[in-house]
Amino acid sequence: MATGISGSMSTNSSTYIVARVSYSETYDVASNTSSVTATLAYRRTNTYAGVTQSTGDFKVNINGTNYTVYSGLFQIPGNDNNWKTVGSKTVTGIAHNADGSKSITIGGSHTGNLSPKYLDFSKSETVALTTIPRASKPTYSSNPLTIGQTQVITTNRASSGFTHTLDIVVGGYTETIQNVGASTTWTPATATLMPYMDTWQKDVTVTCTTYNGTTKIGSSTTSFKLQVDTSVYKPVITIGTLSDVGQATQGLTNGSFIKGKSTLQTSISVESNDTTYGDTVAQATATLGSTTDTEQGARRQWPSWRGTGCRCRRSPCRS
């Protein structure tokens, strides 16, 4: 059992007598329940030398039910300003809501059989108990995770008795890991996951269902990024030899170029180096001087690309 909230409420039963109901809570994560103890006490606030007394039932109220904590004659001595405990009551097994929250009524009362009725009172309040942790929410050792590497999944469970089922979804691929305690590992195999990687990086959705024995506590959904190893699966860019094809300059340059005058020509091709999983080039951009061209397709070629200067770049694999 864990220690929960505590507090008190007070009211004057008469001019110089204060009635107080104090309360405390313990809770159990596994059963999603609380135990609440309520204690009734009185205190004199003046220096009156005589005894103040009453007889009858002295009650506390917990979760809407009245409990008699003392029945009979109760006296508060004169010239004593300390709290005098009448009695207490503990109620166990107060069930919380599915999300772990719970509010209850706590209070106390006394209607005496003697006059004057210096100890008569009635007091109650609505008290929010501790919200008990429920469904686990996993965290991950790597984000993004590269295919072929190992992900450590920590469930962050609220109770050592909780177990979990993890449903992992990547695009059209699904996998289930059962009977997970505090943590587990997941290693996405290249041969298994690459056919589902239609972009170089995808979201992995993990639905974590928490159980206490066979009782379902709840579920949470989190995610992380899974990415292709771009050091392995990257496009091949081939750039041919630059030549000057300008009518006014090609006879003068002899393999060199005149800045701002020469017209350059080269050949460029961009294609995937993946022959196993059908990886293709989604987009390629070529720039020669001030001329830029962006093309979509599985294999891009510029057999006769002209401009002044040349560079070529390719966005990440499967972007």
And the tokens for 159?
Answer: 């109770």
In contact, 265 and 305? CB cutoff 8 Å: yes
* Alpha-carbon distances, residue 107 vs 6, 12, 97, 220 (angstroms): 13, 14, 22, 37
- What residue type is 282 in one-letter code? A
Q: Work out the pLDDT band at 243, boundaries 50, 70, 90.
A: confident
Q: Which of 267, 229, 269, 228 is nearest to 245 (CA)?
A: 267
- What residue type is 177 in one-letter code? I
Secondary-structure class of domain 139-227 per CATH = mainly beta
Instruction: Quote the mean pLDDT of the chain.
Output: 87
Sheet holding 201-212, edge to edge: 145-146, 215-227, 201-212, 162-170, 173-180
CA distance 188 to 194: 9
Condensed to tens digits (0 to 9), the pLDDT of residues 88-128 reads: 999 999 999 988 999 999 999 999 998 899 999 999 999 99
pLDDT of residue 242: 75
pLDDT of residue 273: 66
**pTM for this prediction:** 0.67
pLDDT of residue 261: 74
Q: Work out the pLDDT band at 259, boundaries 50, 70, 90.
A: confident
Q: How many CA atoms lie within 13 A of 20 on its CB side?
A: 15
Q: Span 134-141, mean pLDDT?
A: 96
Q: Span 155-163, mean pLDDT?
A: 93
Q: Span 236-262, mean pLDDT?
A: 74
Res. 209: pLDDT tops 50: yes
- Domain spans, the chain: 2-128, 139-227, 235-314
Q: Do domains 2-128 and 139-227 have the same CATH topology?
A: yes
CA distance 146 to 153: 15
**What's the length of the chain?**
319
CATH architecture of 2-128: Sandwich (2.60)
Q: How many CA atoms lie within 13 A of 274 on its CB side?
A: 25
In contact, 137 and 143? CB cutoff 8 Å: no
Q: Work out the pLDDT band at 301, boundaries 50, 70, 90.
A: low
Res. 316: pLDDT tops 50: no
Q: Span 161-190, mean pLDDT?
A: 97
CA angle 130, 131, 134 (to 5 degrees): 140
pLDDT of residue 309: 34
Q: Work out the pLDDT band at 314, boundaries 50, 70, 90.
A: very low
In terms of Cβ atoms closer than 10 Å to its own Cβ (0-12, 13-18, 19+), residue 57 is: middle
CA distance 78 to 48: 5
pLDDT of residue 117: 95
And the tokens for 68?
Answer: 């008699």
Q: Span 61-89, mean pLDDT?
A: 97
Q: Span 203-209, mean pLDDT?
A: 98
- Estimate to the nearest angstrom the gap between the alpha carbon of 264 and the chain centroid: 57
DSSP string of 245-274? --TTTHHHHTT---TTT--EEEEEEEEE--
pLDDT of residue 275: 62
- Cβ-count burial 225-244 (b if 16+ within 10 Å, e if not): ebbbeeeebbbebebeebeb
- What residue type is 1 in one-letter code? M
Condensed to tens digits (0 to 9), the pLDDT of residues 12-68 reads: 999 999 999 999 999 999 899 999 999 999 999 999 999 999 999 999 999 999 999
